[in-house]
Structure 1
Amino acid sequence: MSDLSCRLATFDDLAAMRGVMTRAIDELQQGFLDPAQVAASHAIMGLDRQLVEDGTYFLVEIDGCVAGCGGWSRRATLYGNDGSAGLREPRLLDPAHEAARVRAMYTHPDFARRGVGRHILAAAETAAAAAGFRAAELMATMAGEPLYRACGYRAKEAVIDRVGSVDIPLLRMVKPLNPTAP
C-alpha cells in the first residue's frame, strides 16, 4: 500500500481541496447523474470553510499527493458549500439527541477505490463518537451511496434538490455510533 496519511485540514489546504472537489464532482458523478445534473451539483457541493474552522475536516494524502478530504460537523447543516446559503444552519447539535453530520466527502479520481473514503469516514466517525455523538447522518450523492451503505449507513429519506430547473437526487442516510465512555 502507498504511504497514506490523514490530518486535520488547514486554510493553507483550501486551494488543493477545491481542486479535488471539482474533479471529484465532475468525474466521479458520471454514470450516476446526467451532464446537467453534474454541472448543477457544483451549486450544492464543494468547500465548506466552517468545517476547517471548526477543526473537524480531514485531508488524506498518498505519497505526498492530496487524495481526498472530508469530515464531520457538530453543526446542524447537513450538506452544502460556502455559497449555499439556504442550506446553512450553524446551530450546534445536541450529541445526546441529534446525529453528528458527516460532511463534504471527496476523493480525487486518481485515488478512487483505494480506501481513501473509508479512511476519512472512519476518522470522522471516531471523532464524532469521541465528542459524545451516538449517531452520524449524511446526505449521500448517488455516487457516494454504495460506499456509505457498505460502511453501515442506512437510507432514511430520498431527497431531490432542485438547482434552477435541474433535479439532483440525494439520499439521507444514518448510522449508529459507539461513543467512547467518559
Structure 2
Amino acid sequence: MAPLTIAPATPQDTSEISALLARAYAGLEQFYPVEILKPVMPLFATCNHKLVASGRYFVLREDGAVRAVGGWSEDAPGTASYAPARGHIRHVGVDPKAGGRGFGRDLLEAVEADAVQNGMTELEAFANVPAVPFYLALGYTRLGSRTELISGQYEFDGVDLRKRL
C-alpha cells in the first residue's frame, strides 16, 4: 500500500484541488439534470481559496497524488450564519478512480478531529444526493431535504445532515 498523508491544503495545492473536484463532481450528471449542473459545475469544481487559507481544508495524498479533499468552517456556507460549537463540512471530493478505498472516510475523520480540536461538538453537511449514503455510513443523521440557492441564483437539491462529535 502506498503511503497516505493528510495535511492542511496550501495555496500551491489549489490547481490539483480544482482538478480533483472537477473529476469528483462530474459523476453528478447521473443524479441531476444538465440544466441544473451546467451553471453550478464551475463553482463546484473550483478550489475555494478562503477555505484553503483558513487552515481547515485538507488534502489526502496517496504516494504524492491527491485522492481526496475537504474541510470545515464555523460559518454556514454562503452565509454569515454561526452557531456556537457547530461546524460545517465544506467542499468534499474523492477522486472517482480511488473511490471505495476508504480515502473519503479517512479524510472526513481528519476533518472531524480538527473540528473537535477547535471546539466543535457537532458538524453539519449539505450533501448532494449521491453523497448521502457516505455520510450516513459515517454516523451522520439525516435532517431533511432542501433546495440550496448556490451563489444566490442557482437552485440545487440536497440533504442536510448532522453528526455529534
Identify the residue that residue 121 of structure 2 maps to in structure 1.
Answer: 134
| Aligned AA (2:88) | R
Alignment of 1:23-102 (within 5 A): 23-26=23-26, 28-42=27-41, 45-46=44-45, 47-74=47-74, 76-78=75-77, 87-89=78-80, 93-95=83-85, 99-102=86-89
Which structure 2 residues correspond to residues 16-27 of structure 1 after superposition, within 5 A? 16-26=16-26
Tell me, yes or no, if the aligned pair for 2:22 and 2:44 is still in contact at 8 Å.
no
Matched, 1:174 2:147: no
Q: Which runs of 5+ in 2 are unaligned?
A: none
Give the number of aligned pairs.
163
Q: Secondary structure at the match of 2:30?
A: coil
Structure 2 SS opposite 1:126: helix
**How far off is 1:138 after superposition?**
0.8
Divergent runs of 4+, >4 A: 162-167
Question: Residues of 2 paired with 1:69 and 1:32: CA distance?
Answer: 21
- C-alpha contact (below 8 Å) 1:36/1:166 kept by paired residues: no
Say which SS state the counterpart of residue 172 (structure 1) adopts: strand
Query: Do 1:25 and 1:41's aligned partners in 2 also have CA atoms closer than 8 Å?
Result: no
Deviation at 1:130, TM superposition (A): 1.3
**Runs (5+) with no aligned partner, structure 1:** 79-86, 178-182
* Aligned equivalents of 1:169, 1:23: Cα separation in 2: 20
Q: In the TM superposition, what whole-angstrom CA distance separates every residue of 1:138-160 from its partner, at most 9, and x where no partner exists?
A: 11111211100100111112111
Change in CA separation of 1:93 and 1:53 when aligned onto 2, cut-off 3 Å = farther
Alignment-derived partner of residue 15 in structure 2:
15
Preserved CA contact (<8 Å) 1:29 1:143: yes
* Distance in 2 between residues matched to 1:51 and 1:44, nearest whole Å: 14
Q: Which residue of 1 aligns with 2:5?
A: 5
Matched, 1:109 2:96: yes
Secondary structure at the counterpart of residue 125 of structure 1: helix
AA paired with 1:173? Answer: L
Give RMSD over aligned pairs: 2.2
Question: Within 2, Cα distance between the matches of 1:170 and 1:10?
Answer: 29
Q: What is the TM-score when the length of structure 1 is the normalising length?
A: 0.80
Distance 1:68 1:60 in 2: 5
Distance in 1 between the 2:153 and 2:55 partners?
35
Scaled by the length of structure 2, the TM-score of the pair is 0.88
